[in-house]
Each structure stands twice: as C-alpha cells, then as structure tokens.
C-alpha cells in the first residue's frame, strides 16, 4: 500500500470533539517551529520541556489516560517561572518575558483537548512568531517566520475541515496569496509608528567598544566578528588609510586608564556653560572641520545601549536631531533599540577648532605615575631641540624600532605604572598600548593630546558598502598643532598592514583573531568561492535591512509623491489634447475597470469550478452541522441531505433535488452540456436550502458527527 493511501489516525476522535493523534502531532510540530525561531536567544532547556509535554500527551492518548490534572499543570507553570527567574535573575528584561510567553505556549499542550483549545494554541503560536522579530529582523528570520506561519495556518485549515494534507496546503497557499496584496499595500502606504514596546538594551551593547580604555582593552575585541555598523557612501569612499571612525574622545588620564569626560563633567569642573561643550541640532555649531569636501554617507547602525554614533572624522550635519560635542564626536538623544539608518556628512579629518577645555586640560597628568616614561620623554624633547614636530617624529620612530612589536595577544599589564611596563619591559602591545604611551609622552612635554577610540577600516563589499566589525576597533591620538587637532596614529608606524588591511593581517598573535567566533564565515575568506558566497549573502541582507526594515516615512512619502506626480503628468497630457481626449481617457479608464472586474469574476468562477461539485456539497454539510444538523458516521452526502429533508420545511424539496443532482453528476454518464445544466441546478438548489431552512434544533450538535466542522 502506498504511503498516500495508508490509513491515518483521525484529526478528531470519534466523538467529533476531542483531538486525535494527527492533530496533536500537527500542534507539536508547530510548537517546534516557533521554538526554533527563538532558540538562539532563550534557554535550550525549553526544547526539552516541549519534548516532555509532547511525550506525556502521546502516552495519554495511546493509553487513554485522564487529562493532566490541575495540580500537575500548576506545578508545571510554577516550575517554569522559577527556572526562568533563576536563569535571567528576575523578570526585569524583555528576554525573560519572552521566555515566559514561550514556556506557557509549550505547556498549553498539556490541557489541549478539543478544537477550541487547539485554536487557542495556534493563535498563541502566531503571537509568539511576531515576538521573534524583537530578536532579529534579518532575511533568514523573515523566511523562517513565513514558513512557521504557513504551518500554523495549515493547522487552522485542518481544524476547519480539510480532507487531507494536499487540501490543507492548497487552502493555506490560497489564504496567503489573497493576503499578500493587502500586506504589500499596507507596507507601502501605512504610516510608520514608533514601537509600543521593544527589546530593552539596558546593560547590553552590540559593540564592546567602551568610553574608557586601558592598554590591552581593545585587543579583546579582535576575538569577535560582531557587526558594529554598515556604511554606504554617496561618492567614492576614502582609501583604507583614511577610514577613521570616531566614536569617543578620551581626554582624562589617571595613570592607568583613559576615560571620557562628559560635557556635564567638563562644565562643572571648569565652570563653563554646558552650551560650550554640546549643542543639539542637525548641523554642527563648531564651525568647519578639516577636509576640503565632506563625505556624504548613510550608516546602518546596530542596536546599542549607549547613544554613540560613529562619524568619519568630525561630523558636519545629519538628517535628524543629534548632539554635536565640541570634541568632535556625535551622540544620539537616546540609545538605539533597533537597527537604525543615519545619514551623515562628515569631514574625514579631526576637528579644526579649539576645545574650550583648553590646553591645560589636555596636558594634565598624574604627578606620581610612570616616572620612566616621563624621563624618556624629557630626554627625547631635549634631543629634538624642543621642536614639537621633531619630537613627535622621534617618538613614532622609536616605536618602529626593535624590540617593539605589534601583537593581537599582548602580555597582560597589571601594575600601577602600565605605560612604563609597556615601554621598558614587555614592548609588545596593541593599538591602545601605543596610543596611550604616545599621548602620555606628548603631554609630558606640554603638547596638548588626547586619545580617540573608535574603528579603523571596514570590509569593502562588491556593491560598494563597507561593513565595520568589532575587530576593527582602534585607538589613536590627536595632538593640537597649528590651530587644529592633528591625527597621530603610532599603529601606522609599527604595523602599517593593520591600517591598510585590517586586524586580520597582523601576524603576531594571530591565533587570537576571531577566537570567540570559531564558526565565523570570515574564517573562509581565503577560499574564493566561499568568500564570494559570504559577500553575496551579506549584500542581500544589507539591502533587506535598508529597503525593507529601513523603509520609513521619508521613503513612503517619496513613493506616494512619485505616484501622484505621474498621475498629474498623465492628466495634464490628456488636458493638453483637449476635451475629447479627456473624455476618451475617462471612458477608457471605466472600460478597463469593468474588464478587470469581469476578469476577476471569471477567475473566481474558474477557481470555484476547479474545486468540484463535492466541495460545494461539503460546504453545505458544514453549514448544516453548525446549525445542529451534522452528518452521521459513514453517511454519504446525498444520504445526509435526504435524511434531513422531511424535517427541513420549505427547504425539503431543495435538499432532495440537490441530492439527486449531485448523484447524477458523480455517477451518471453525462455530456458536457447536460453536465453544465446540472451544475447550475445544483447551485440553485443549494442557495434555496440556505434561504429556506428553518432554524430548528435538529440533531444534538456533535452527536455522531465525524467532520471537524461540528460545533463544539
């Protein structure tokens, strides 16, 4: 016997109400699909709980055990709550609440007994699918969610009377196809509103870059391939050696760590108005920065708990209100809770205006730290004839000599005088080691200096956009010279390959590169075809994020404005041709609308005709069952109608005529013309039944019924 004709377990049991093994399996597979959408972000033990619940229901069905008691269900819910509380340390975050929703959804199968319960399970599943987009809104998540929704809709079709799997999937495809145009129209024209709720980002950042660094901190970021942001340039991008993405300006040094002094802290410490350090708006208030012409670019930023916004050099203008800081950095007014687009014009160069904190602030050093570094700085200063330019060249030249080396796995520094330990003991470090030492040596001789933390480089994709990742994190130095801040990057002196080719090109300690991402596709960059597939997928995903997820009010307004402009041009062209042409256009439009209506009507008739006469009769039987007149076990459709005819009042003759017409269509050898006439008669009799059937009590709902349309 072929698999398609093997007898299967019933969707409903013999009483027409309780769920059979096929339906329970359908619901469990739907739960597995929904759980799969969340599995990367929720505890894995939820999968074990789903299997345990399904196993219990299977044994319950096979051995005809009683339904799960109230005590068992309460214990299961209490255990779920306690486990989630322990895993997330409370219910203060959205992830714990999502875990609770998912757990309740899985436990619902314990008390799912009839069609009503099954529909509730499916509806909760649809809500849980929607919640999955709080985790991720990428293409893979969208495709997986679409497949899961199709499975859940198919479950609803089974519950509504599908004959077999083929019929259920055909109905599901029909429902999805009908809803697709409406979804597309709503997506294009419906106003975008801020989310009523979203994934909180408290204490969680998409990038490990911090507003304070000590030697060795940034080296840890080389272990991760997490994406920080993506950028698309309106024109040609700068060369790799000029891609310095500014995030934080660190001007305070305590002997170990460089930290960012906030505008409020600077205002309080220096007794200056807050407006001297920060302004809100869409354009910088600090005047022009270095660079001849600004770079116009579009950033696709990842979610982050901090309001930082990267810029290529000093920012000049943005497309939304942001906070421009006088130190050349850009801040948002609030953290990013989801991926966001930011259009930015920036100089590509450090700020060309003074910092109101003054030279004294940018030459401060703790008096009792790093004595050997101070002594070295003073000796080099004397040897350079107190010439700042010669002195800075001497500092960089010293780093370019042996035994100094640039490594992704620098020795750990734990002492109080870490700059001394680096310069005179280990002599091996990462960008933060060299930047910290250079800034300290500049300040020692009175040259204003500060450390800038951000990113350097970015992977260029075939379509032109750049991807900047955590391992591109970088630190460099700015010194005040000749009325402007000037970039000074000691990494370019000791490891130029890091600046030109990225962190992956550094040979020293290369085993640390991507150490936290053992399965990263970036490890396949040396394999041509694999790297090409990776780049193509990232290109598609980037376009998805920009065109679909990033579709916002401005894009909608541009689309609608374009459509209206096209209509206006068409009307103007008709008006220019004269009144007769305008009338001809109106008549043509009305004729086209009429033809479209007739075409849709014929398409509907064709689709209904393909379903066959049995489908029409099944719809009538389902309608009768909802009114208390279901079919009995083993009863044919015609016998069902004939049995109801004596108690059907005015609809009795129509029931008998419909039964006779149906049997002739199924069994009699008819020609095409006679078959068409019988079908018209059948449709006419079915309409008469619906109009003339009295609302009697009929048979007891559910008694002896076999189809899932029986009212429960």
Write out the catalytic residue numbers.
Answer: 431, 474, 489
Pairwise CA distance, residues 300 & 344, whole Å: 11
Instruction: Detail the DSSP E strand segments found in 271-314.
Output: 278-283, 295-301, 308-309, 311-312
Show the tokens assigned to 606.
């064709």
Pairwise CA distance, residues 408 & 423, whole Å: 17
Chain centroid to Cα 674, Å, comes to 58
Backbone angles phi, psi at 648, to 5 degrees: -95, 5
∠ CA 689-691-695, nearest 5°, is 85
Closest to 406 in 3D by CA, of 505, 515, 259: 505
- Are 149 and 64 in contact, with CB atoms under 8 Å apart? no
Closest to 17 in 3D by CA, of 707, 606, 526: 707
What is the dihedral angle through the alpha carbons of 635, 637, 638, 644, rounded to the nearest 10 degrees?
80
Q: DSSP letter string over 405-452?
A: EE-SSPPP--SS-HHHHIIIII-EE-HHHHHHHHHHHHHHTT--EEEE
For residue 581, give the 3-state DSSP assignment: helix
Alpha helix ranges (H) inside 545-612:
553-577, 579-611
Closest to 364 in 3D by CA, of 269, 443, 460, 474: 443
Show the tokens assigned to 632.
């009995």
- Are 436 and 442 in contact, with CB atoms under 8 Å apart? no
- Are 302 and 225 in contact, with CB atoms under 8 Å apart? no
Helix/strand/coil (H/E/C) assignment for every residue in 439-501: HHHHHHCCCCEEEEEEEECCEECCCCCEEEEHHHEEEEEEEEECCEEEEECHHHHHCHHHHHH
Closest to 148 in 3D by CA, of 164, 124, 129: 129
Handedness of CA 115, 119, 121, 125 (dihedral sign): positive
């Amino acid at each position: 016997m072929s698999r398609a004709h093997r007898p299967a377990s019933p969707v409903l049991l013999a009483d027409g109400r309780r769920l059979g093994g096929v339906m329970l399996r359908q619901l469990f597979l739907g739960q597995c699909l929904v759980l799969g959408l969340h599995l990367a972000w929720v505890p894995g033990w939820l999968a074990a709980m789903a299997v345990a619940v399904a196993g219990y229901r299977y044994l319950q069905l096979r051995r005809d055990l009683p339904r799960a008691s109230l005590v068992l269900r309460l214990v299961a819910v209490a255990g779920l709550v306690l486990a989630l509380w322990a895993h997330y340390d409370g219910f203060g975050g959205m992830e714990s609440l999502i875990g609770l929703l998912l757990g309740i959804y899985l436990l619902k199968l314990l008390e799912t007994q009839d069609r009503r319960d099954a529909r509730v399970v499916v509806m909760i599943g649809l809500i849980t699918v929607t919640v999955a987009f709080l985790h991720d809104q990428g293409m893979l998540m969208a495709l997986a969610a679409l497949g899961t929704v199709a499975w859940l809709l198919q479950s609803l079709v089974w519950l509504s009377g599908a004959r077999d799997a083929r019929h259920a999937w055909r109905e599901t495809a029909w429902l999805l196809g009908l809803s697709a145009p409406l979804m597309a129209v709503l997506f294009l024209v419906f106003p975008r509103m801020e989310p009523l709720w979203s994934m909180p980002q408290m204490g969680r950042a998409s990038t490990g870059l911090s507003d304070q660094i000590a030697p060795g901190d940034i080296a840890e970021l080389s272990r991760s391939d997490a994406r920080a942001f993506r950028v698309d340039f309106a024109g040609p991008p700068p060369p790799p050696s000029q891609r310095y993405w500014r995030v934080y300006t660190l001007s305070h040094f305590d002997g170990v760590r460089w930290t960012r002094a906030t505008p409020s802290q600077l205002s309080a410490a220096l007794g200056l108005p807050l407006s001297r350090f920060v302004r809100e708006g869409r354009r910088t208030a600090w005047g022009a920065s270095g660079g001849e012409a600004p770079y116009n670019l579009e950033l696709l930023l990842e979610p982050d708990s901090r309001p930082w916004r990267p810029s290529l050099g000093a920012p000049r203008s943005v497309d939304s209100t942001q906070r421009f800081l006088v130190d050349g950095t850009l801040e948002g007014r609030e953290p990013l809770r989801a991926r966001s687009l930011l259009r930015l014009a920036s100089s590509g160069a450090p700020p060309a205006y003074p910092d109101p904190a003054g030279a004294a602030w940018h030459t401060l050093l703790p008096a009792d730290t790093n004595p050997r570094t101070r002594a070295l700085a003073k000796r080099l200063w004397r040897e350079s004839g107190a010439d700042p330019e010669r002195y800075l060249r001497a500092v960089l030249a010293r780093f370019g000599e042996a035994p100094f080396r640039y490594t992704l796995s620098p020795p750990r520094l734990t002492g109080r005088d870490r700059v001394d330990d680096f310069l005179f003991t280990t002599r091996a470090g990462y960008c933060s080691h060299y930047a910290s030492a250079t800034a300290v040596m500049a300040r020692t001789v009175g040259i204003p200096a500060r450390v800038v933390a951000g990113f350097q480089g970015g992977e260029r994709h075939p379509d032109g956009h750049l991807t900047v990742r955590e391992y591109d994190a970088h630190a460099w130095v700015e010194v005040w010279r000749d009325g402007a801040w000037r970039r000074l990057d000691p990494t370019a002196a000791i490891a130029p390959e890091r600046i030109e080719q990225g962190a992956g090109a550094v040979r020293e300690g290369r085993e640390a590169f991507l150490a936290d991402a053992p399965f990263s596709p970036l490890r396949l960059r040396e394999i041509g075809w694999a790297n090409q597939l990776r780049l193509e997928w990232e290109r598609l995903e980037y376009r998805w994020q920009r065109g679909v997820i990033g579709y916002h009010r401005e894009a909608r307004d541009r689309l609608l404005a374009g459509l209206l402009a096209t209509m206006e041009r068409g009307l103007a062209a008709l008006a220019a041709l004269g009144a007769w042409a305008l009338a001809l256009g109106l008549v043509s439009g009305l004729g086209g609308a009429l033809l479209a209506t007739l075409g849709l009507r014929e398409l509907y008739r064709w689709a209904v005709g393909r379903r066959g006469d049995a489908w029409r009769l099944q719809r009538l039987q389902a309608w009768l069952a909802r009114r208390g007149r279901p079919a009995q076990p083993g009863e044919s459709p015609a016998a069902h109608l004939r049995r109801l005819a004596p108690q059907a009042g005015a609809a009795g003759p129509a029931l008998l005529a419909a039964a006779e017409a149906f049997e002739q269509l199924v069994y009699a050898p008819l020609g095409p013309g006679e078959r068409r006439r019988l079908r018209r008669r059948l449709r006419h009799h079915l309409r008469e039944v619906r109009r003339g059937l009295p609302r009697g009590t009929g048979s007891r709902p559910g008694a002896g019924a076999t189809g899932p349309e029986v009212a429960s």
